[in-house]
Every structure is written in structure tokens, then in C-alpha cells.
Structure 1
């Protein structure tokens, strides 16, 4: 049956609109003539918060601010997944066994919080700086730091949050702590459409009557009186394989080995086409990059987009997925089955601190994407 008359015109318009939207989503970002060429800010949730801290410390000469939502301090894992899950988090044996197999059910791995030796973390950081594996620590003192942990968080404990503050203060920074609220391990938003503010909300973006993204972005940009808007911009994509560190072999194979999915999303407010703007890197937490639905829940629903225009930010949302145990070979019995960012060393085997330095392959890939947005290309 052929459609004729007004109905045909409506159908054709809808088809054209759908095609236009899909085409726009497939576009690479345009050249932004007035974007800041060096400095940027970064934030994240959970493992994304850990990666945000790593980026902020390793590249402190460029990162002007770090937003931390439920994340452990720099170098907390010391290169061991067992220490990451057992010392830096509050998960318990049953949860560890569920995530990483029967080894983590041994009595050796206990539930509850453990003290974190911040002096050791500070000492190791200074050592990495002397070795020139990270930027000089002088840059840490001038950074804007915003950190939040919900009182009902059963993944990142209060001791890890306290260690985060002590760590940055040791370098002269003045981290600001978000007002304590009864929220679980999630990205709190002020949007009730994002789901219940409890552990049943499995995409980890929740309606908690608290706009964490807005609080952290206003602090990082030093614009406490800014107000959000509905969003007036466009989405673009970056092919993440194009930004991997140079190396042998097929780029798509290397991309998968590092956990990266095919694409990252970029949001550019309309005003950034003609006004000076800054890149902000927003990093999802574990599980959130494993499906399109959960990734979109973070990119679209976590609250960042409505602040991009008022704060003049180009938003970059890198994405990683899961690496199943033994997927990369018999040597890798753990993998990254929950799709977390690397904050314990699964991308740098044999180098205990490599995952947290400027040479870390995930961080180098993110920096390459940032630089691509900053330069005329």
C-alpha cells in the first residue's frame, strides 16, 4: 500500500527526521575554534571516580579540577585487585566471590572497612613524580577538588572517603566535601524520572533529590550561582580505537584488550561553537558502560548535560565494557567482568603502579581524545 496526501507527507517527514538524528549521532565533533587548548576538568562515579583521581594526579599540570562521587584515593589498590576489593572497598566475601570467583570467598578476604595508610600513598606519589611518571606534585595544591560519598554507600566506605581528603590536603589542596545525604552507591540526581534512590536502581543513576553533577561542576568551574538549562546542543561520537596509544597489532583487538567499547559520546552546547569553552571528562562507573541503556542513563541522565551550556563545557564521555576472565589469555584469570575503569592494574600487568601513571593505556587514550577536541582537526 502506498501512502498519499498529508499522511504521506507526515510519514516522509518522520523518516527524514529519524535519518537526520541517526546521521547526527554518527558525526565526529566539529572544530571548535575557541576551546581551551590545555586545561580541562574531570569527574566520575565509583571506578570512574578512581580514574578521575588518577587523571587529576598524573596530569596535574593540566587538570584544573576533579569531581569524585564514591571513589577511593590515588594508588589505593597498589596494583592488586585483591587490595582494591578488600582494602579500598566495603563489599564483603559473598559479593567478591560473585564478582571475581571462588578465590575471593576465602576467609583471608573479610568484609568491613580497613584503615588506609595515606602516608604511604603520599610517599608513593612523590616517588612517581621524582621518576617523572606523573606530573610534579606542585600542581595538586591549586586544583579544585569536590568529593561526595552517600551515607548509605555499601561499596566505598567512610574510611576511603576520609583518606581521599587527607591525601589531597597533604599536597596543599582544599577539597570540598558534598553535604552528607542518605544515598547508596549511585550517581544522585534531582530528577525523579531516574528511578528510586536505593540499590534497586541497577543503572546507578538515581532520583535522590540531589544534583551531584551540578554541585561538582559548579565547584570545579568556580561558578556557585550558575543555573542549569534544558540543554541546547548536539551529540557526536569518537571512535575510541583511533585514540589508542601507538602499538603493534590490530587496533580493534587492542581496543578490546584495554576494555574500550567502539564509541565514546561527546556533547557540545551550541554556545561552544562561538564562545570559549573547556573540556570536561565524565567517567561512568562499573557496569554502566556494559550496555547501551546503562551508558545512556549516565550520559543523558546523570545531570551533566543541563550544566554544559551555562558552564560552557564540552562533555566527553569515554566508555569501557567488560573483559571476561581468561578472555585475554590463561594469564588473566580475573579480567574485568564488571566493566570497571582500571584502578588496580588489569591493563598494565607486571607494573604495579603503571595503571596510575601518564603511560597508563586507558589514561593515554582519554588524553588523546581530550587533545583531539582541543586542537583544530
Structure 2
């Protein structure tokens, strides 16, 4: 079994391991499943954020860079830095593919695959090279302008026992954000707006505190574990500080407020899907159903965490998991009027490039995977637009 599901067949060795447009302050929802329930959303387009775990963290990072004009911040759990899979591109000493770079340098997944990539794994991840790749994106206008990152909030979580995304990778992500925001005005740099937390003893997982009287911080599927850390809540409260500081509504998440919808219908059945799953989810707090102005957060699962895969070989067979229900976002969202969008990526067969349902952070949809108009970034954005359509 592939421990967080990144493998293509050994011959390919692929890896696994969010944002509203427009300037109007509010807009009306137009997703059919919401309309059928007579839900009238009014999304505050000036308070939109994104987060994710592992490949979802990498995609959240890509969305933040690509759509920084429309986002207030990003949360990343065990996420590699922007364009890390391109790090060795053009290096004659290491003529390898982006897939090999992803499993060998940007993660430690090569060890699980039994691949002899120790020489690549030993390389440092230099901030200067990551900045070259980011500057290329900015200079070619393939993403929003770098200045839009100023003042954005960044929350990074890493595990002290994560053997998939090791410390040097998480450190590289933090260093890159520091450099990306170094030219910002005082008070808008990373030193004032970035927080990085390492959870002692935590493996490669989404941390929760779902068992108040115990701790069960285990490795492996479903990659959601009680590590006595409310990771999703900590991310949301940091990215939306005004919400966290305001009086909290005294109500827990209601399972009935989690609504499945057709991603295919939103994207358009004849449009390139980019390996998006047919189904997505949206959590709508009670107050948001009738037009109250609400913030929006995009939460991205990791590999092996879409609805078809998350319970396969689960280390916790006592329950059935769903990322959109169990990752820990919805209680805080309910209390603070934050709509949470849960897009899903699809898996392929073993020869299809993405057998474990990862988000594309190494190029299985093409070498433009990091760009604003990349298929998955564009399709996630279509869903955001549909949620916020006038």
C-alpha cells in the first residue's frame, strides 16, 4: 500500500503527497443544489482564504500565488513549496522529471517506493532557486502580481514525525514566503503575518482534537487523526482574525448543512475536467443560508482523501470518514459564518497518472500546473464563481 498514495506504477513513480474573483463585496449563489434548498448565499469577496493538507497544501499554495489578488491568506499542513517539482528543471547534473523531483526532493516518498534517489534527497532546497521559479511566474504574468501577497496571512503546520514531508521541505516553504513578502511595507511582511507550528509526535496527517479525553495521533489512512491540535480551527482563526476576535455563535456544526453538489455541472461536462471528481461539498452555516454576509474558505483534501478513497485501508475502521465532515473546519465555520468549499480531485487507474486522487502539483495535467489558467486552478475557481454568482 502507498502510504499517502502518490505512486503511479513504479515505472512512472508519481507523487502525491483556494478564492473568489471580482471586487464586489457580496454576490449571490448559483449552484443548483443550493438553489433547490432555497439557500441564498451572500459571499464577502474580500474575505476569502484557502488551505489544504499535503497535495492539497501544495495546491492551496499554488492557488494563493496564482490568485493572490482575491485571497486574504493560506493555511498549509505538510506542504511543499511553490513549483518545487520544477526545482531541478534545466539542471544538467540532475536530468530528471518533475515526478522524480517531487518524490525525491520535495518529499521523502522515494523511500516508500524503494527508489534509489538518495543523492537527490540529499540536495538542499535553496530559497534562491525557489525565488527564481516564482519570479518566472510573476515576470511572465502567469499569476497575480507579487505585491498582492503583502499583508496576507500564512499559517503552516508540520509534524514532528512526518516521514513523508520532512522538516527541510516545510522549512523551505516558510523561507519562500518570507522572501516573497520581504519587499512589503512594514506590518505586511511575513514576520508579522506568518505563523509556523510544528506538532511534536505528529505523523503525516491532518491534526484534530476530536477526542477531548484522549489522543490517537496515528499514521496512515484516513490521514485525519486526533493529535490534540485543532488544526483546521487554528488555520481559520489565524486567516480570519476578526472572526476569531468577535463573539462566537453558540452552535456546533450541523451535518445537514454539508451539501454535496455536482462539480461536473459547474465546470461543464464538455470542458477539460483536469481530473476533478464529479462531486464536491460545501458547508453552509445556518446564518449564511438566508443571505447574511459570509466569508469563504476553500479546504483541499490530500491524496487518498477523496470520498472514494479515504476509507480504504483505514487505520480507524470504527467509523466511516469524509474529509468535508471530519477534517475539523465546520464547527469554527458554523460559529463564525464562514462557508467552506470542499472541492475534490479524482483518481485514475494505475496507468492514468493520478491513481491516488492527488491534486496536481507536479504536472500530471501538463507543465502549466502552477499557472493561473491551469486546469485544476481554473476549475476550482469556476466553482468559487458559481458559489458567488450574482
Q: What TM-score, normalized by structure 1, do the two folds share?
A: 0.79
- Unaligned 5+ residue runs, structure 2? 1-31, 87-96, 182-188, 312-319
Among candidates 251, 254, 265, match of residue 242 of structure 1: 265
Equivalent residue, structure 1, for 2:374: 360
CA distance in 2, matches of 1:184, 1:163: 19
1:190 aligns with 2:209: yes
Structure (1 or 2) with the greater helix fraction: 1
**1:346 counterpart residue number:** 364
Does the CA-based 8 Å contact 2:159-2:198 persist in structure 1? no
Over the aligned positions, Cα root-mean-square deviation in angstroms equals 2.5
CA gap 1:191/1:309 in 2 versus in 1, 3 angstroms: same
* Aligned mates of 1:31, 1:132 — CA distance in 2: 37
Per the alignment, do residues 152 and 202 of structure 1 end up closer, same or farther by CA in structure 2, a change over 3 Å counting?
same
The counterpart of 1:207, out of the listed 226, 231, 245, is: 226
Residue-pair matches, total: 323
Q: CA deviation at 1:123?
A: 2.0
CA–CA distance in structure 1, aligned partners of residues 200 and 236 of structure 2? 18
- The CA deviation at 1:275 is 1.9
Contact 1:37 1:375 in 2 (8 A): no
**In the TM superposition, what is the alpha-carbon distance from 1:63 to its structure 2 partner?**
1.1
Q: What stretches of structure 1 of length at least 5 have no aligned partner?
A: 1-25, 98-104, 328-334
Residue 299 (structure 1) aligned with residue 324 (structure 2): yes
Say whether 1:88 aligns with 2:113.
Answer: no
Q: In the TM superposition, what is the alpha-carbon distance from 1:292 to its structure 2 partner?
A: 6.3
Matches of 1:179 and 1:82, distance apart in 2? 27
Post-superposition shift, 1:90?
1.6
- Is 1:136 paired with 2:145? yes
Alignment of 1:1-377 (within 5 A): 27-28=33-34, 32-37=40-45, 39-78=47-86, 80-93=98-111, 95-97=112-114, 105=115, 107-108=116-117, 114-172=123-181, 173-174=189-190, 175-192=194-211, 196-199=216-219, 201-222=220-241, 223-225=243-245, 229-232=251-254, 234-244=257-267, 251=270, 254-255=272-273, 258-272=274-288, 273-289=290-306, 291=308, 294=311, 296-327=321-352, 335-348=353-366, 351=367, 354-376=368-390
Distance 1:189 1:117 in 2: 32
> Matches of 2:113 and 2:309 in 1, distance apart?
25
Alpha carbons 2:307, 2:322 under 8 Å: kept: no
Distance 1:286 1:195 in 2: 24
Partner of 2:8: none
Comparing 60-69 with 273-282, which one deviates more in the overlay? 273-282
CA contact (8 A) 1:281 1:315 kept: yes
Q: CA offsets, 1:327-355, max 9 Å, x none? A: 4xxxxxxx11221100000011xx3xx10
Whether the 8 Å CA contact 2:41–2:387 is kept in 1: the answer is: no
Contact 2:258 / 2:325 at 8 angstroms: preserved in 1? no
Distance 1:34 1:240, change over 3 A: closer
Deviation at 1:266, TM superposition (A): 0.6
Instruction: Quickly say closer, same or farther: Cα 1:371–1:40, change in 2 above 3 A.
Output: same
In structure 2, distance between residues paired with 1:134 and 1:111: 29
2:20 aligned partner: none
Pick closer, same or farther for the CA change 1:46–1:229 going to 2, 3 Å.
farther
Q: 1:55 to 1:206 in 2, by over 3 A?
A: same
- For 1:130 and 1:337, the matched residues in 2 are separated by 34
The change in CA–CA distance for 1:195 and 1:370 in structure 2 (over 3 A counts) is farther
Alignment partners' CA distance in 1, 2:245 and 2:334: 14
User: Given the superposition, is the C-alpha separation of residues 180 and 61 from structure 1 closer, same or farther in structure 2, using an over 3 Å criterion?
Assistant: same
Q: Which residue of 2 aligns with 1:332?
A: none
8 Å contact kept, 2:362–2:369:
yes
Cα distance in 2 for residues equivalent to 1:42 and 1:368: 15
SS at match of 1:133: coil
Q: Deviations over 1:191-247 (max 9, x none)?
A: 129983121x51011111110001110000014456684214612233112333x7x
User: What is the TM-score when the length of structure 2 is the normalising length?
Assistant: 0.76
